[in-house]
Structure 1
Amino acid sequence: MKPESEAELAEMVAGAHEPFHIRGGGTRAIGVTTAPKVLKTGKLSGITLYEPGALTLVARAGTPLVEIEEALAAEGQRLAFEPMDHRGLLGTHGEPTIGGVVAANVSGPRRVQAGACRDFMLGVRFVDGTGEIVKNGGRVMKNVTGYDLVKLMTGSWGTLGVLTEVSLKVLPQPSTSACVMIDGLTEVEAQKAMSRAITSPYEITGAAHAPEGPGEQPLTLLRIEGFAGSVSYRMGRLQEMFNDHAVRIKTDPEDVATLWRWVRDVEMMQGSDGDVWRLSVRPSEAPGLVADLRARHDIARVLYDWAGGLIWVECAPGTDLRPKGFKGHATLIRASEETRLTLPVFQPEPPAVAALTQGIRARFDPKGVLNPGIMA
């Protein structure tokens, strides 16, 4: 199924009698669906509106992410939520699409300061499970009105509708970036340092810690972006703040970009055989949780992002990392299909929330044709 227009897509969904799996660029095969057919959105492509002065961009869902990033870069702008590229981690191919980014609410290290993909959404167009074309939100910031289906669709993984068009707020590309690097901190010390940094007035746009950094030694990273004079001042203040630690500075733009791409795309876990989990927790509880996981499981690698609010964990295949009474959100990102059929890929919901979720899905997809099995 390869619709070439929104109208054709609506006809396909309206006439569907069998479930189907929605595929954009095919780069994030995380969930498991039993759908016998695949609906590919790649032909619903192209930027339909871009107003740099209004900081808004509208694109069809199948538009390759690289096409959008290149158009923004030509105007000195960017997607501030820094979407991750999953291909290296998952061993997949294809091209990430903006629809896939929105459907999965993909957000990178800058979320700690700028917010998530969901926070930059202005409007959506989608086809629900009955074949009805739905529009919500606006194409520019001043027109965002009505029920907030925009945020509901962002992160719904195609279970409520097939996205056809998205409207986004974009931001200017900063002129200067720098990274403060602190060597040798324990995980507890690193979390405290990151927390101290992001609650300071110095506008940290990235805070990460690797117990085994690129040099196989503990490395804590703090990113600063903005105008050159401001970056220089804030960098100096951070050096003073952590003057009792071994601090290094990176200011070369390419070096800084490479370092944060290493964090964003979890490059330390690429090309290995272990399962990979993504844990969202209260930052102050992150080191204790990881210590507990290490005591009970075979943990290969760990990476803290979002000042400890996001933890990437690589472990032995088939391991269930959700401890009893876990207070957070754990997603199984990389594993064999057998493991993904055995363990819930997404965090199981409490009964009351699960009932609400099923009610919403039944309203948007009464025939049950949209990505069955995903997020269930």
Structure 2
Amino acid sequence: MTDFTPSNAEEVLEIVQWTVGEEEPIEIVGHGSKRSIGHAVQAAHTLDLSRLAGITLYEPEELVLSARAGTPLAEIEAELARNRQEFAFEPMDYAPLLGREAGRGTIGGLLSANLAGPRRIKSGAARDHVLGVHAVSGRGEGFKSGGRVVKNVTGYDLSKGLAGAWGTLAVTTDVTFKVLPAAETETTLCISGLDDAEAAAAMAMAMGSSAEVSAAAHLPEGVVGRFLEGGLQNGAQTVLRVEGFGPSVDYRIDLLFHLLKSYGAVSTIDVDQSRLLWREIRDCKPFADGTTAPVWRVSVAPSQGHLLVDAFRRAAGANTFYDWQGGLVWMRMEADPEAEVLRKLIAHFGGGHATLVRAPETVKAGTPVFEPQPPALAALSARLKEQFDPKNLLNPGRMAFT
């Protein structure tokens, strides 16, 4: 087994060309924070991009940042914070959930996993903010897509195409993202004691209002005590975040207060605790418990999330909470991940997808980790794979289930 550790894009190209010439599959890693998501890669060699690091361009006034793929996301976010800017899509850190050190994710992994956080309902995911990439395909060919300025959209769809591919199409060496000013302040409004169905209705009302809510989540009684070190009020909490300039935030929080007070007791969380709470929601804090108990990340229509959970619990037990106005359901089980039951229910409730983010390796080996694609989409994916990596040399087996 060979561990390749290139320090520049030219070395990456040479390594992938060797891989193609020898027909030797290779696993692509950054700092390994998400390495256990998916099936075990069937490769004897590793392409470690951790030395391919550093911000290559940052123009705060142009809202553009470029960095090499192995650059730690924590380093980039610190630089953005110094200029009161951020990634608007609020990328999740999977590491704590997977039993790894927080803050180890890279910008290349951010794109590869198409990360997003609670602001997904307002600002989209990584693919909606990527402007360009430099990469090497599984054919051993270097290519560039997109540009460094917002107005340049040449090849934009190709940059998007690498988002969520988990390194199975190309090795990204440099990536450019659009960044945005960070909010001056924020406040979170909490409604106490709602059941899942009541919370779904309250969140829908809030999102349909003029309050410009940037995040909406429901934390049932079974998990609420694991947020803010137990600092939330007793009982289930439905939480709504409002961001912006101080007077505007105050006005919109007041609007929500009067709109939603009929649902139950309403309170607020100030800016520091609010920011901490949404980081904990983003990173699935309740289930980052040091175990390998199965954890699913389920995406459905916001109106269907609580219905799916209710139906699922008639067949199997699960501890859950909701983000994205109820459209993202985090589910933790004690043993069997109940994949067949869950995916039948997803189809029944209008479609969506489920990813088995965490489970013992023996369990994952017998379970489709990623949502099986319908025939038409599977055929399109196969054609894309044929164009980029016809010999199946990049991260082989990671997304596949046979």
In the superposition, the TM-score normalised over structure 1's length comes to 0.97
Is 1:44 the counterpart of 2:52 in the alignment? Answer: yes
Pair 235,265 (structure 1): closer, same or farther in 2 beyond 3 Å: same
8 Å Cα contact 1:77/1:170 also seen in 2: yes
Letter in 1 for 2:152: N
Pair 22,273 (structure 1): closer, same or farther in 2 beyond 3 Å: closer
Q: Deviations over 1:83-116 (max 9, x none)?
A: 1111111102471101001100010001111111
From 2, 10, 16, give the equivalent of 1:13.
16
Q: Deviations over 1:14-51 (max 9, x none)?
A: 11121111101100120122122211111111101001
8 Å Cα contact 1:320/1:343 also seen in 2: no
Pair 265,233 (structure 1): closer, same or farther in 2 beyond 3 Å: same
From 107, 116, 122, give the equivalent of 1:113.
122
* Partner residue in 1 for 2:70: 62
Higher deviation after alignment, 36-45 or 90-99: 90-99
Letter in 1 for 2:344: K
Q: Deviations over 1:137-178 (max 9, x none)?
A: 001112221362011011111111011111111011111100
Letter in 2 for 1:35: A
8 Å Cα contact 2:134/2:172 also seen in 1: yes
Letter in 2 for 1:324: K
* Partner residue in 2 for 1:86: 94
Q: Distance in 1 between matches of 2:190 and 2:390?
A: 52
Q: CA deviation at 1:274?
A: 2.1
Aligned residues: 374
SS in 1 for 2:74: helix
Q: Distance in 2 between matches of 1:145 and 1:192?
A: 42
Q: CA deviation at 1:205?
A: 0.7
Higher deviation after alignment, 30-39 or 124-133: 30-39
Is 1:238 the counterpart of 2:256 in the alignment? Answer: yes
8 Å Cα contact 1:269/1:314 also seen in 2: yes
Q: CA deviation at 1:196?
A: 1.1
Q: Distance in 1 between matches of 2:326 and 2:353?
A: 13
Letter in 2 for 1:24: G
Q: CA deviation at 1:298?
A: 2.0
8 Å Cα contact 1:279/1:310 also seen in 2: yes
8 Å Cα contact 2:131/2:156 also seen in 1: no
Is 1:336 the counterpart of 2:360 in the alignment? Answer: yes
* Partner residue in 1 for 2:140: 131
In the superposition, the TM-score normalised over structure 2's length comes to 0.91
SS in 2 for 1:15: helix
* Partner residue in 1 for 2:203: 194
Is 1:279 the counterpart of 2:279 in the alignment? Answer: no
From 151, 158, 168, give the equivalent of 1:159.
168
Letter in 1 for 2:169: L
8 Å Cα contact 1:297/1:319 also seen in 2: no
Percent identity over paired residues: 47
Q: CA deviation at 1:3?
A: 1.1
* Partner residue in 1 for 2:106: 97
From 76, 81, 95, give the equivalent of 1:73.
81
8 Å Cα contact 2:132/2:156 also seen in 1: no
From 283, 304, 311, give the equivalent of 2:322.
304
* Partner residue in 2 for 1:3: 6
Pair 70,220 (structure 1): closer, same or farther in 2 beyond 3 Å: same
Q: Deviations over 1:58-99 (max 9, x none)?
A: 111100001100110111101111111111111024711010
Q: Distance in 2 between matches of 1:148 and 1:276?
A: 31
Letter in 2 for 1:101: L
8 Å Cα contact 1:27/1:86 also seen in 2: yes
Gaps of 5+ in 2: none
SS in 2 for 1:127: strand
* Partner residue in 2 for 1:30: 37
From 259, 278, 289, give the equivalent of 2:277.
259
Is 1:295 the counterpart of 2:314 in the alignment? Answer: yes
8 Å Cα contact 1:178/1:225 also seen in 2: yes
Letter in 2 for 1:34: Q
Is 1:355 the counterpart of 2:374 in the alignment? Answer: no
Q: Distance in 1 between matches of 2:337 and 2:11?
A: 43
8 Å Cα contact 1:22/1:41 also seen in 2: yes
Is 1:315 the counterpart of 2:315 in the alignment? Answer: no
Letter in 1 for 2:95: R
Is 1:324 the counterpart of 2:344 in the alignment? Answer: yes
SS in 2 for 1:366: coil
Q: CA deviation at 1:273?
A: 4.7
Gaps of 5+ in 1: none
SS in 2 for 1:151: helix
* Partner residue in 2 for 1:364: 388
SS in 2 for 1:195: helix
